[in-house]
Amino acid sequence: MVLRAVGFDVDGTLYPNNRAFWRSILYIIRHIRAISAFSRTRRIMREQEEDQAMAGDASETEIGVFAQQLRCSPERAERIRRGIIYSGLEKCLRRLKTYKGVRESLISLKKAGLKIAALSDFPIGRKLQIFGLDDLFDVALGYPETLRLKPRPEPFLLMARKLGVLPEEILYIGNKFHYDVRGAENAGMRGALVGPVTRHVPQGVTSYANFQDLAERILFEVKK
């Protein structure tokens, strides 16, 4: 099948997670209770999705579980999620640099006629703009717009519909094997990893050492 589009995870894929962590360490310490509760919330939600028990509005579901973990009202949980988890952590990314060659690689892929998408388990918000990449993406989707969390197939299939291409015509690239590669495969796409994480990938999984390697190999495939 001809490759027509490339999708990318955002957090930890376009930029290094370790740099983001150290840049936000004081913020994390200050809000450790809320951030820990949100981490538990996401774990519970993924367990519910695996059991196909999760239904209804995705945002309301997340707020409800988050409220239980915080032991507060849904209204307060929603304010904390919006202010501390979503907006607050996004602000910590300001002045953080992407991996070397990200923009140049995306430009080369677009010049080759490929569509480019971003798909994240968090709101995209202003992240692509912060990194100076917002002009390069044809589609940008984040939770709760995606309705479900990776590795469920629904977010990936929504990305395919927005791009206007078949799932099997998409290569999706991330930094987590279970969520990104397996999630893409669950939706009938190809999955791959990029960056330092590629040192520990299962045998047979496509991996790119860096974005220059990624662009060169994808362009070679497109030109064959």
What order do you get walking across the sheet with 190-194 strand by strand?
Answer: 139-142, 115-120, 5-8, 170-174, 190-194, 206-208
Global pTM reads: 0.93
For residue 198, the model assigns a pLDDT of 60
Are 41 and 122 found together in one domain?
no
Which of 91, 119, 143 represents a domain boundary (last residue)?
Answer: 91
Of 191, 184, 223, 188, give the one whose Cα is nearest residue 207.
191
For residue 201, the model assigns a pLDDT of 77
For residue 44, the model assigns a pLDDT of 94
Are 129 and 75 found together in one domain?
no
| CATH code at position 142 | 3.40.50.1000
For residue 57, the model assigns a pLDDT of 76
CB 100 within 8 A of CB 210: yes
For residue 130, the model assigns a pLDDT of 96
Are 146 and 42 found together in one domain?
no
For residue 199, the model assigns a pLDDT of 63
Range list of H helices, the chain: 17-23, 25-30, 32-50, 58-70, 74-80, 89-91, 102-111, 127-130, 153-163, 182-186, 211-223
Are 44 and 112 found together in one domain?
no
Which of 40, 67, 91 represents a domain boundary (last residue)?
Answer: 91
Which of 91, 112, 143 represents a domain boundary (last residue)?
Answer: 91
Are 127 and 69 found together in one domain?
no
Successive 10-residue mean pLDDT values, the chain, 224 residues: 95 94 96 98 87 67 96 98 96 94 98 97 96 97 94 96 98 96 96 82 89 96 85
Instruction: Calculate the alpha carbon distances from 86 to 149, 158, 195 in Å.
Output: 16, 22, 25
Are 29 and 116 found together in one domain?
no
Q: Which domain holds residue 67?
A: 25-91
Number of domains in the chain: 2
